[in-house]
Structure 1
Amino acid sequence: MAVISPSGTRESPGTPDTPKQSARGSRFRGRGRRWIPYAFLLPALALELLIHFVPIVLGVAMSGLRVTQYQISHWWDAPFTGLGNFRIVLDFDGPTGKALAQSFFVTLGFTAVVLSGAWLVGMAAALALQRAFRGRGLLRTLFLVPYALPAYTAVITWRFIFQRDNGMLNHLLGQLGLIDSNPFWLIGHNAFWAECVVAIWRMWPFAFLILMAGMQAIPGEVYEASSIDGAGPWRQLQMITLPLLSSVNKVLVLVMFLHTFNDFSTPYILFGGSAPPAGDLISVHIYQSSFATWNFGLGSAMSVLLLLFLAVVSACYLAFTRRTGHES
């Protein structure tokens, strides 16, 4: 039936959409909305490829070349060695492979000490500030200061603290009567423990921040019910806090492991770019092998092996935590 519009023209009424047309339209709109998050992620993905993956590809390509200071401006024309650089690096009877193996084991020990120490200090601080009390916000801010400080500022301060003659540590230990002479903290075997202390001091606020955020998600009623049942603080930690923080700890331990194993700022600033054997972390060792000896092909081979090691460890860790999560 025709309808007369106010202007006097005849108009036929529109046919209402059928259910099939409505479903098709909503499906099309749903598909369009589904692509919106990916469109927002495209700039970040492009920058990630540019900043991380492109250097990785170039490093893998350079590991098969004999690149020195003479070919660095046109490194792609350097002589091809195939797996020659890897054979030198993995020859543990040779000087290069032996030094790399020693640096690798030093880094493993450093990572184990720093990871466990930072987690324990961060966990203790998070437990201490779990319940609300007056001044808790101020303490949280103070605890995050080591993490907020720039790496150079934090490490160079510790470098002055560890000085033999004018350092604060030797002065304090001498005042307490714990030492008779001023020991060297930045050379010899003490260098390992010195850089561990600095790394723990820089890392534990990060563990504290993540663990504290995880504890805020635990309902207070659970602790109240356990207190009524007679559970003390230690029992609550074992039966409530740690099990409910398991998912947080899985991610935290992996992130801290990767960050600590690749730590470059701490040894480089603390020892002035040339770490003693006891504190020779693998990141600084690769840097010295690449830029001190100008053997970029050899340094690239070391970097590729380090990347493969971290990838395998991360994959095994994720598979193990996923399996234990399913079993529990």
Structure 2
Amino acid sequence: MHKYSWLEKKPNLIVLWMLLPALVLELLIHILPMLVGLYISFTHLTTFTLHDWLHAPFIGLENYKVGLNPSNPLGAAFFWSFFISLAYTAITVIASTLLGLGGALLVNHHFPGRAVFRTIFLLPYAMPVFVVGIVWRFMFMRDWGLVNQLLVNAFHVIASKPFWLIGPHAFIAIVIASIWRNWPFLFLISLAGLQTIPPDQYEAAEVDGANTLMKFRHITLPGLRPVISIGILLSFLWTFNDFTLPFSMLGENPSPSADVLTLHIYSNSFQDWNFGTGAAMSVLMMMALGLIILLFNRMFRLGRRNEL
């Protein structure tokens, strides 16, 4: 009966034992591969040394010097891909936030068919990312894709059918698909945040003579700020790291206008067989995202301190 009495005396050990499976999985799935990738970034691992990758020549920071040197082709391509990824992520997150907030405000009030609208709004988020990419790839086909059929044949917005998946229009294509995929997440976050704002705050504001814009500015936005901030940060990280959607739409060799960093690293690693350079680029991307997270947290904390 008192077989596990030593655990009762030390309740912290129970917590550690319960966390142990998650810690082991975290070690095997995330930490260990990350450490292996970090090691590879310091080696000259190519197709010629892949057969014995543990003994690949150690070259120190040479891979990082190549990736951070804009005067050579690899470095210039890395900085260009980083810029494309930032633009792609920023446009996606801003548009998704506006659409998500607008959709949440729309269905937050009671009206007939509100449940139907909520379900429809969440459909893009429920679909697998690869399926979303394939669907939008078909829609952006030049000859028989739905986008060109609407723009050229139905509404006559443009005279000729453009190539959406190659050339300069490829960036627009993946941005539109990414916004369609990501905005329901911000919608869900915003709707959950709206449910936490007490209705009596709006009633008190109406008594004081506040109009709709004033209530939105002084009640809705401050009430949504904590959840919206987390939603924006998560959406930024997911979009910047997204490989599946651009790959399923554009393939292995995207146009320079849509050469996001994840596809660029994949191309260097698994097409050019420069695994060391690709690993170094991955580490640099991880460091850049870490810096963005720190800056975001600092801005959010400073904002809360100013409010206090």
TM-score by length of 2: 0.94
Specify the SS of the correspondent of 1:109: helix
Give the alignment of 1:153-302 within 5 angstroms: 153-174=131-152, 175-302=154-281
Please say which structure displays the higher CA radius of gyration: 1
Task: Quote the offset at 1:132 in angstroms.
Answer: 2.3
Q: Deviations over 1:302-323 (max 9, x none)?
A: 0111111111111121122112
Aligned AA for 1:299?
A: G
Map of 1:3 onto structure 2: none
Change (3 A) 1:75 1:145: same
User: How far, CA to CA, are the matches of 1:327 and 1:250 in structure 2?
Assistant: 16
Correspondence 1:112 to 2:90? yes
User: How far, CA to CA, are the matches of 1:59 and 1:205 in structure 2?
Assistant: 33
Q: Deviations over 1:132-173 (max 9, x none)?
A: 233222211111110010112111111111111101111111
Task: Quote the offset at 1:256 in angstroms.
Answer: 1.0
Q: Which blocks of at least 5 consecutive residues in structure 1 are unaligned?
A: 1-27
User: How far, CA to CA, are the matches of 2:257 and 2:167 in structure 1?
Assistant: 6
Task: Quote the offset at 1:42 in angstroms.
Answer: 2.1
Map of 2:3 onto structure 1: none
User: Retained in 2: the 8 A contact 1:110–1:196?
Assistant: yes
Aligned AA for 1:74?
A: D
User: Retained in 2: the 8 A contact 1:103–1:285?
Assistant: yes
User: How far, CA to CA, are the matches of 1:35 and 1:217 in structure 2?
Assistant: 36
Measured on the aligned residues, the alpha-carbon RMSD in Å equals 1.5
Map of 1:99 onto structure 2: 77
Task: Quote the offset at 1:291 in angstroms.
Answer: 0.2
User: Retained in 2: the 8 A contact 1:62–1:296?
Assistant: yes
Q: Which blocks of at least 5 consecutive residues in structure 2 are unaligned?
A: 1-5
User: Retained in 1: the 8 A contact 2:186–2:228?
Assistant: no
Match of 1:138 among 90, 94, 116: 116
Q: Deviations over 1:104-124 (max 9, x none)?
A: 111111111001000000000
TM-score by length of 1: 0.88
Change (3 A) 1:170 1:228: same
Task: Quote the offset at 1:31 in angstroms.
Answer: 6.0
Correspondence 1:50 to 2:28? yes
User: How far, CA to CA, are the matches of 1:267 and 1:79 in structure 2?
Assistant: 33
Specify the SS of the correspondent of 2:167: coil
- Which shifted more, 314-323 or 111-120? 314-323
User: How far, CA to CA, are the matches of 2:8 and 2:207 in structure 1?
Assistant: 51
Task: Quote the offset at 1:35 in angstroms.
Answer: 4.2
User: How far, CA to CA, are the matches of 1:177 and 1:147 in structure 2?
Assistant: 31
Map of 1:64 onto structure 2: 42
Task: Quote the offset at 1:30 in angstroms.
Answer: 7.8
- Which shifted more, 33-42 or 87-96? 33-42
Aligned AA for 2:180?
A: W
Map of 1:313 onto structure 2: 292
User: How far, CA to CA, are the matches of 1:96 and 1:152 in structure 2?
Assistant: 29
Map of 1:9 onto structure 2: none
Task: Quote the offset at 1:254 in angstroms.
Answer: 1.1
Specify the SS of the correspondent of 2:39: helix
User: How far, CA to CA, are the matches of 1:237 and 1:41 in structure 2?
Assistant: 43
User: How far, CA to CA, are the matches of 1:283 and 1:29 in structure 2?
Assistant: 47
User: How far, CA to CA, are the matches of 2:276 and 2:36 in structure 1?
Assistant: 11
Specify the SS of the correspondent of 2:180: helix
Q: Deviations over 1:216-261 (max 9, x none)?
A: 1111111122223232322211110110111112211111111111
Aligned AA for 1:233?
A: T
Specify the SS of the correspondent of 2:233: helix
Change (3 A) 1:176 1:52: same
Give the alignment of 1:27-38 within 5 angstroms: 32-38=10-16
Aligned AA for 1:248?
A: V
